[in-house]
Amino acid sequence: MTFQQTIRQPAEIDGIGLHTAVRCHVRLVPAPADTGIVFRRVDLENFEIEAHVRNVARVSYATSLMKQGVLLSTTEHILAALYSCGIDNVYVELDALELPILDGSSKPFIGLLAMTGTRRLRRPRRFIRVLKPLEFSDGDRRIGIYPCDEFRVHCYVDYNHPCVGPQEVEMSVDRESFSRELAPARTFGFVKDFTGLRAMGLIRGGSMENAIVLDDRTIMNGPLRFADEFGRHKALDLIGDLALVGHPLKARIVAHKAGHALHTQLVTRLLADRSLWTETSHDDLHASDQVSLPASLPASPS
């Protein structure tokens, strides 16, 4: 049996939002057992928004949460770091409606968590153990979740660009593997899309300091941190959205050209069907309980 964790001491960081360009100050604060990850808008009398899929507002180019009309945007990078590092309970205090983009990755948040340290709480950690597969598609985008004795992700992307193309990432995710293999991977954008995005009020804070920028032929601000940095960042986003389950997962997730919309739909559909999962405090799952897992999603999900 493992126990819930919070951070040992507060720590803070600030920067501008990718879409709003508004400066935001973030402070992580220890929280008691069974609190979960809770955002606090300190600019709005400490209004709290739980990091749970029931609070998802929209998923266009970022995952935004809303509760009682109070909005919170671009949560996925900090959630990916907290979730992968096993932080069950924490208050994320902020003074604006969008989390800072920082360098476009989760690496600064991993650094922040290294400063806070962790503290074990006297309450068992509760896992969501997936019992049966769930899979669905939207055109050529597909996603599925399958029984597994660990938390594992498989992410496939394919962009029609000479510097990207097909990329595939599969890994077991824990604090060490996430910090080393995924956290440094940055968000990215294509110059051809910028005019349309800005007309929609997006990427006002975007720059070559916080995103990989590509024109029609090249990467304009290389070098890359990984040869497959685009696929790794999509896996990072996937993990941040999966954190909205509210508990650590024992499952393997396969995402094929998926994005925030499919990620959050998966969480919603999973939690809505109690025949697909069970909640347990035991992490010593047995191989005899598992079913065969596909290498990738079938062309036509069942």
Per-residue tens of pLDDT for the chain, all 302 residues: 899 999 999 999 999 999 999 999 999 999 999 999 999 999 999 999 999 999 999 777 899 999 999 999 999 999 999 999 999 999 999 999 999 999 999 999 999 999 999 999 999 999 999 999 999 999 999 999 999 999 999 999 999 899 998 999 999 999 999 999 999 999 999 999 999 999 988 899 999 999 999 999 999 999 999 999 999 999 999 999 999 999 999 999 999 999 999 999 999 999 999 999 999 997 654 433 433 344 444 433 32
Catalytic residues, by residue number, are 260
- Are 72 and 195 in a shared domain? no
Q: Which of 69, 92, 124 is the last residue of a domain?
A: 124
Helices (DSSP H) in the chain: which residue ranges?
76-84, 107-116, 175-177, 191-199, 229-242, 260-272
The count of structural domains within the chain is: 2
Max Cα distance, the chain (Å): 54
Name the residue range of residue 46's domain: 3-124
Q: Give me Rg for the CA atoms of the chain.
A: 18
The two structure tokens encoding residue 148: 């597994």
Residue pLDDT, tens place only, 102-129? 999 999 999 999 999 999 999 999 999 9
Q: Residue 73: which of 250, 203, 207, 233 has the closest Cα?
A: 203
Q: Which of 87, 106, 124 is the last residue of a domain?
A: 124
Residue 60: per-residue pLDDT: 77
Coil vs helix vs strand at 239: helix
- Are 39 and 170 in a shared domain? no
- Are 73 and 187 in a shared domain? no
User: CATH number, domain at 250?
Assistant: 3.30.1700.10
Residue pLDDT, tens place only, 188-210? 999 999 999 999 888 999 999 99
- List, in sequence order, every beta strand (DSSP E) within the chain: 3-7, 11-16, 23-30, 37-41, 47-50, 56-58, 64-67, 70-72, 90-94, 118-124, 127-130, 134-138, 141-147, 151-159, 165-172, 188-190, 212-214, 249-256, 277-280
- Are 112 and 133 in a shared domain? no
- Are 187 and 238 in a shared domain? yes
User: CATH number, domain at 12?
Assistant: 3.30.230.20
- Are 106 and 198 in a shared domain? no
What is the distance between the alpha carbons of residues 57 and 55, in angstroms, rounded to a whole number? Answer: 6
- Are 267 and 159 in a shared domain? yes
Task: Decide if 32 is inside a domain.
Answer: yes
Residues 6+ apart with CB under 8 A from 193: none
What is the distance between the alpha carbons of residues 146 and 148, in angstroms, rounded to a whole number? Answer: 6
- Are 285 and 147 in a shared domain? yes
Q: Which of 124, 157, 186 is the last residue of a domain?
A: 124
Give the phi and the psi of residue 264 in degrees, each rounded to 5. -75, -30
Task: Decide if 120 is inside a domain.
Answer: yes
The model's pTM: 0.92
What DSSP line would sit under 118-147, residue for residue?
EEEEEEEPPEEEE-S-EEEEETTEEEEEEE
- Are 100 and 175 in a shared domain? no
Task: Decide if 170 is inside a domain.
Answer: yes
The two structure tokens encoding residue 219: 């990467």
- Are 105 and 15 in a shared domain? yes
